[in-house]
Amino acid sequence: MQAKLIEIQHQATEDLKKAQSVEKAEQIRVKYLGRKGLVNELIGKIPTLPLDQRASFGQLANKVKNELQQSFSEAIQQLSAVKTESFEEEFFDISLPGIRPPYGHKHPIVQTIDEIKEIFSKLGFAVAYGPEVETEYYNFEALNIPPDHPSRDDFDTFYLDDDVLLRSQTSTVQIHIMQKQSPPIRIIAPGKVFRPDTIDARHSSMFHQIEGLMVDEGVSFSDLKSVLTIFAMAFFGKDIKMRFRPSFFPFTEPSAEVDISCSICGGKGCSVCKGSGWVEILGAGMVDPNVFKAVGYDSEKYTGFAFGMGVERIAMLKHGIDDIRLFFENDLRFLSQF
C-alpha cells in the first residue's frame, strides 16, 4: 500500500504539471485529495493492514497529503495570476462605459411645483415663502376667520401651543406679503401644510399647496378667470375645460371652486371623477375687504383675487395616480417613473 501511495503522489504531481487553468487544477485536486479522492480511499483501507504497519502508514499518508496540498495551492495561485495578467493584456477595452452610479432626480411633487412656478412666472407672478409654524393670527384671524367661526373646523389644525400651530393652509403667506409690501402684488406661495387627517388614499397629514395672490387697482373676477384658465391649459393641455362653481371661503368674496374636465377620462366619466366628468382643482375668489383691512390696505382703492390649490391632487390628476401615500413612501419603483 505504501508503494501504491507513492505512485498516487507521483501521478498527481504529473497531472498537475499539465494543468493549464485553475479549473483544471481544481479538478485534479478533487480527484486526488477530495473527500472521496484516491488518497482518502487508501487511508480508508488502513484497518485492513496488520496492526504494526498501521501507524507508520498513517504518518506517511499524512505527509503525502500535506505535500500534495502544498503543490496544489502553489499551482492554483500561479495559474490565477497568469489568468488575470493575460486577461488584462488581451481584453482591456478602454472604450467600455464605466459603471454608472444611479442618478437621482427631483421628487414628483417638487417637479410639479417647479412646473407651476414656471407657468405663473410667465404671467408675472413672483414666488414667495412663509413659515410653516404660525400663530392663530396668520392662519385664521387676519384671513377673516375669527375664533368662534364655524369654518375653523374646515381647517382642522395641529396646535403646538395655545396660539402656535402648524399652518393648515398657505393662505397665511398672503398676510405676510401684504404686511411687507404695498400693491401691486402678484405672487404664488408654494409650501407644506399640515392637518390632523386620518391618512388614506386621498388624505395625508402633510401635503403641499400653492397659494396665489394678485392685488392692484382694478383687478376683477375676469382677471382671475383668465389667469386660472391660462394656467389650466398650460398645465393640463389645451383641450381642458374649466368651470367655476359658487362656493364659500372666509377670505374671499365672492368665492368659487374651480373644476376642470377630468384629465383621466377626458370628461366621459371614470372612477377618478366619480362619473361626473369634472374634478375640483382649487378654491379661489376676490380678496375679502376684511383681509385688506387686517393688513392696512384701502379696499376702496384696491381689489384682488386669491386662489389655493393642492399640489399632490394636481399631480395625481395629471399623472393618473390614485393614492396620495405613494408620494411619501419613498418607493423607488414609483419615484423613478418621473
Residue 95 and residue 331: Cα distance in Å, rounded? 34
Edge-to-edge strands of the sheet including 185-194? Answer: 126-127, 185-194, 206-216, 303-310, 278-287, 252-261, 242-249
Least Å distance between CB 202 and ligand DAH? 14
Q: Which is nearer to ligand DAH, 249 or 302 (CB)?
A: 249
Least Å distance between CB 228 and ligand DAH? 11
Binding site for ligand DAH (CB under 6 A): 169, 171, 211, 249, 252, 283-285, 306-308
Q: Which is nearer to ligand DAH, 65 or 208 (CB)?
A: 208
Least Å distance between CB 323 and ligand DAH? 21
Least Å distance between CB 284 and ligand DAH? 5
Q: Which is nearer to ligand DAH, 255 or 261 (CB)?
A: 255
Contact 268, 277 (CB under 8 A): yes
Q: Which is nearer to ligand DAH, 9 or 252 (CB)?
A: 252
Least Å distance between CB 269 and ligand DAH? 26
Least Å distance between CB 258 and ligand DAH? 9
Residue 268 and residue 289: Cα distance in Å, rounded? 40
Least Å distance between CB 211 and ligand DAH? 6
Q: Which is nearer to ligand DAH, 211 or 312 (CB)?
A: 211
H helical segments located in the chain: 2-18, 22-33, 38-43, 51-91, 108-122, 136-139, 172-180, 221-236, 289-295, 311-319, 332-335
CA 263 vs CA 105, 242, 257, 266, 307: distances in Å:
25, 11, 17, 5, 20
Q: Which is nearer to ligand DAH, 32 or 194 (CB)?
A: 194
- The residues with which 260 forms a beta bridge, in sequence order, are 242, 279
Grid look-up 417638487 returns: 110
Report the amino acid identity of residue 119.
I
Residue 123 and residue 144: Cα distance in Å, rounded? 28
Residue 215 and residue 183: Cα distance in Å, rounded? 6
Q: Which is nearer to ligand DAH, 37 or 212 (CB)?
A: 212
Residue 170 and residue 193: Cα distance in Å, rounded? 7
Least Å distance between CB 234 and ligand DAH? 20
Q: Which is nearer to ligand DAH, 183 or 285 (CB)?
A: 285
Q: Which is nearer to ligand DAH, 168 or 261 (CB)?
A: 168
Least Å distance between CB 225 and ligand DAH? 13
Non-local CB neighbours of 316 within 8 Å, separated by 6+ positions: 322, 324
CA 109 vs CA 57, 309, 326: distances in Å:
79, 13, 11
Q: Which three cell numbers stand for residue 13?
A: 504531481
Grid look-up 414628483 returns: 108
